[in-house]
Amino acid sequence: MSQEKHKPVVAPEDRVPVGQKVAYGAGCMTGQFVTGVTLQMFNPVFNIMMGISPAVIGGVLMFYRLWDSVTDVVMGNISDNARTRWGRRRPFIIIGSVLAGFILPWVWQASRDWSDTTIIAYMIVTGVLLYTASTIWGMPYYSLGMELTPDYNERTRVTAVRAVFEKLAGLFAGWMLALTSMQIFADPVTGEPDVARGMSYISIFIGVCAILFGILPGLFVKERYYQKDAAKQKKIGLVHSMKVTLTCKPFMVLMSVYLLQVIGSSMVGALGMYLNIYYVNSGDIQTAGIIQGWKSTATLIPGILSVPFWAWVSEKLGKRHALALTILLGFIANILIYFCYTPEHPYLQIVPHVFLSAFGSAIWMLIPSMQADIADYDELNTGERREGSFSSISSWFFKLAMTLTTGVSGVIITLTGFDVVKYGKAQPPEVLQRMLEWYVFMPMVLWVIALFMLSRYKLTHGKVMEIRTQLEARRGVV
């Protein structure tokens, strides 16, 4: 890879006001409340508490993602083609966040007195409604982030603010297991922690927060490209938009890197919580929940501090090199996991997650910023502003990958020999060892391939600046 050093100077007219950056960044917490909390708590509630097979739960989550991947593409196109007095994105952001916040608590109201079939049907119906509402909010929200500024570096600064709020939402999600297993929610008969009962109450608070944070971008963030450029272009057909997007070479290269990173982590992600509960803490879910909470707390500050660091690296070396460094950091973190997940020192597992926190901050900051550069590249070649298409196809790839890996993760848990009904808290040592090995080594294989694909990405800072010059000569400054 060639060097991409440059002066990180942002012209005043290209800067996004601090208030708009904060409003946009805070909005991301709605997405974290919907997807992050769901993925974090589904197995503890429906497997450990209600006895539904992890393979079945994986299948339900896979169905959510499959549904999501289809609706995202449709919603992205609707958002690109919308023409309202308030813009293309903002009305949907407000409507979607209100719907998502209202529906979210209902997902967690299933009763263990129901039959397994009824519980599974309830999971499917409420989950589909929740993810549909999330799509109405999410596609316009992420598309909006790609059109806030035309500047290469300011785009990363916008996504950096968003990454900070994602870390704050991650802190809350990290404490969910501990919060839901508090004594106030304990089973009134046995006195044992009742995560399902706790989640049924706490989810109401989460739903309210999803609304309050989700509407902020719709109320306070301006759509820079709408009046000058996008409002005047012809509406774009869904099939045509998908075809053009899928033939955009820089986008497809970036997506391959993105998916390999995501698949590597998410394919075995569910194993982390099981290792914490059954390997490190011998089935003590309450202690494991507290450690999980401290894990998210201990990684918050390093995660937030890593955001300006990665922004600095991006401005000094370019986004491509910064992304490569994040992948290398992931290798270090996974090697540490192998040695730090140990029953003798339960809290030692926090150490590798400090590195993973920085790893995650950079990915979710750099990828969206690079997609905004690709939107300019696409406009130069097609004459169209199609942020919604890129956001939706990106989301489609991500959710298709999550669909497959979520289903696979449930199967992996089953294949390791884990069986909460048969073994209870005392899972066999060989089962726990298999869980650990899958958790550590599987992601590293895919990250090697991701590094190779990243070397094929050619939109350097110089190239992006050249594209901007050509665009402004053709259609003026926005």
CA 290 → CA 63, 203, 280, 285, 371, distances in Å?
A: 31, 19, 13, 9, 37
CA–CA distance from 299 to each of 159, 169, 352 (Å)? 19, 12, 9
Over 70: is that where the pLDDT of 228 sits?
no
- What's the rounded Cα separation, in Å, for the pair 58 and 89? 32
Q: What gap in Å lies between CA 379 and CA 41, rounded to an integer?
A: 41
pLDDT (average), residues 267-291 = 82
Q: What is the pLDDT of residue 220?
A: 94
Residue 151 backbone zone (phi > 0: left; psi -120 to 50: alpha; other: beta): beta
Output the pLDDT for position 8: 57
- Phi, psi of 342, deg, nearest 5: -145, 135
| pLDDT for res 287 | 86
Residue with tokens 């973190």: 333
pLDDT in the model for residue 284: 84
Q: Which residue has the higher pLDDT, 67 or 69?
A: 67
User: Residues of the chain with pLDDT > 70: what percent?
Assistant: 94
- DSSP-assigned letter for residue 15: P
Does 458 score more than 50 pLDDT? yes
For residues 292 and 296, what is the distance between their CA atoms, to the nearest angstrom?
6
Query: pLDDT value at position 3?
Result: 46
The pLDDT confidence band at residue 213, using thresholds 50, 70 and 90, is: very high
Question: Would you place residue 227 in the very low, low, confident or very high pLDDT band (cuts 50, 70, 90)?
Answer: low
Note the pLDDT of residue 63. 86
What mean pLDDT, rounded, does the chain reach? 85
CA distances from 221 to 19, 139, 264, 336, 415 (A): 8, 15, 34, 41, 48
pLDDT digits (tens, 9 = 90+) for 279-289: 888 888 888 88
User: What percentage of the chain has pLDDT greater than the value 90?
Assistant: 32
Most confident of the ranges 15-24, 41-50, 232-241, 243-252: 15-24
For residue 233, the number of C-alpha atoms closer than 13 Å in the C-beta half-sphere is 19
Q: Which helix (H) or strand (E) holds 3?
A: none
Q: SS3 for 235?
A: coil
CA–CA dist 214, 100 (Å, integer): 9
What gap in Å lies between CA 330 and CA 49, rounded to an integer?
A: 32
Residue with the bigger pLDDT between 236 and 377: it is 377
Task: Please give the DSSP secondary-structure letter assigned to residue 290.
Answer: H
Give the span between the Cα atoms of 168 and 75, in whole angstroms: 27
Count of residues for the chain? 478
- Identify the H or E element spanning 292: helix 285-317
Q: Which two tokens stand for residue 364?
A: 């979710």
Say if residues 193 and 178 touch (Cβ distance below 8 Å). no
Spatial distance between the Cα atoms of 400 and 71, rounded to a whole number of angstroms: 12
| Residue carrying the six token digits 């608070």 | 205
* CATH fold for the domain made of 17-475: Growth Hormone; Chain: A; (1.20.1250)
The pLDDT of residue 229 is above 60: no
Residue 2: its pLDDT value, please? Answer: 44
In terms of C-beta density within 10 A (0-12 exposed, 13-18 middle, 19 or more buried), how is residue 82 classed?
buried
Burial of 234 (0-12, 13-18, 19+ CB in 10 A): exposed
The region of weakest confidence among 55-69, 181-195, 200-214, 369-383 is 55-69
Q: Which helix (H) or strand (E) holds 194?
A: none
Rg (CA), the chain: 22
More confident residue, 294 or 214: 214
Tell me the average pLDDT across 76-89. 86
pLDDT of residue 218: 94
Q: Counting beta carbons within 10 angstroms of the beta carbon of residue 457, is it exposed (0 to 12), middle (13 to 18) or buried (19 or more)?
A: buried
How sure is the predictor about 208, in pLDDT bands with cuts at 50, 70 and 90?
Answer: very high
Distance CA 257, CA 151 (A): 23
> Where would I find the H helices in 146-229?
152-174, 176-180, 195-214, 216-220
pLDDT value at residue 76: 85
Give Cα separations from 416 to 4, 341, 401 (angstroms): 45, 17, 22
What would the pLDDT profile of 96-119 be if each residue is shown by its tens digit? Answer: 999 999 999 999 999 989 999 999
Q: 344: Cβ–Cβ under 8 A, 6 or more apart, which residues?
A: none
- So what's the pLDDT on residue 421? 67
What is the average per-residue pLDDT within 426-449?
87
The 3-class secondary structure across 316-376, one letter per residue, is HHCHHHHHHHHHHHHHHHHHHHHHHCCCCCHHHHHHHHHHHHHHHHHHHHHHHHHHHHHHH
Q: What is the mean pLDDT of residues 24-32?
A: 92
Please report the pLDDT score of residue 117 as a whole number.
94
Top-confidence residue, 421 or 176:
176
Confidence band of 459 (pLDDT split at 50, 70, 90): very high
Weakest-pLDDT range from 121-135, 255-269, 390-404, 443-457: 390-404
Residues 6+ apart with CB under 8 A from 398: 258, 259, 262
